[in-house]
Amino acid sequence: MSDNDDIYTVRRKRKHAEAQAKSMALRKKRNAPGRDDLGRAAYYVLLGLYSDPRIAREQKTAIQGQTLALMREAGFDVFEANVAFLKDARGVLDSLNGWLCRRYMEQGKHLGPEGKPYKRLTGLGKRPDQPLNRSNGGNGQGSGQPLIENGVTSRLAGDQGDPF
C-alpha cells in the first residue's frame, strides 16, 4: 500500500489480501495445486519432451518455436528467452528432482510417496501407449467418463446446477 491510497483503497486491498489468504489456506488444506504448481509441472513436461531423444527434430523445433513466440508476445527478448529455455532444457532432470524434493519437504515429509525414501528421477520414464483412464490412474476422460465430476461442477457453478 502506498502513502497516496485513500481509505477505500486500503480497505479493498486488505479485504482482497484476507480473501486470498483464506483461499490459499483452503487450497493447501486440500493439497490442491495452484497455478504456479501446474505451470511448473507443465514446463517440466515440455522440457522433458524437448530433451527426449525419441522425439523428432521437427517436434522439438515446434516446441521451442511456440515457446519463444509466446515469450515474444509477452514482451520478453527472444534471444534471452531462447538462452533461458536451452539452459533449462539442459538441466531439466536436476531441476525437476529439486522441485519434487522441495514439495515433499513443504508437506512435512522427509520421505517420498508411500513413505519410501525419496528416489531421484534418473532418466526417461516410459510413456503410456494409451490415454489415462480411471482404471490406470487417469481422470476418466478416455473412458467416456466426464472430465469433472458433477458434484465438483455444481460447486464451481455456485450450486446453480451443472453448467455442462
pLDDT digits (tens), the chain, 164 positions: 566 778 888 899 999 999 989 988 887 788 788 888 899 999 999 999 999 999 999 999 999 999 999 999 999 999 999 999 999 999 898 888 888 888 877 777 666 666 666 677 777 666 555 555 555 555 444 444 444 444 444 444 444 444 43
83: CB partners within 8 A, 6+ apart: none
Given a contact cutoff of 8 angstroms between Cβ atoms, the answer to whether 85 and 49 are in contact is: no
Number of residues in the chain: 164
25 and 40 co-located in one domain: no
Collapse the DSSP code of 140 into the 3-class scheme (helix H, G, I; strand E, B; otherwise coil) and give the result.
coil
Given a contact cutoff of 8 angstroms between Cβ atoms, the answer to whether 51 and 95 are in contact is: no
For the chain, the first-to-last Cα distance in angstroms comes to: 41
21 and 73 co-located in one domain: no
Q: Which domain holds residue 13?
A: 1-32
Is 2 among the domain residues?
yes
Q: Which DSSP symbol is given to 130?
A: S
Number of folded domains that form the chain = 2
The radius of gyration computed from the CA coordinates of the chain, to the nearest angstrom, equals 21
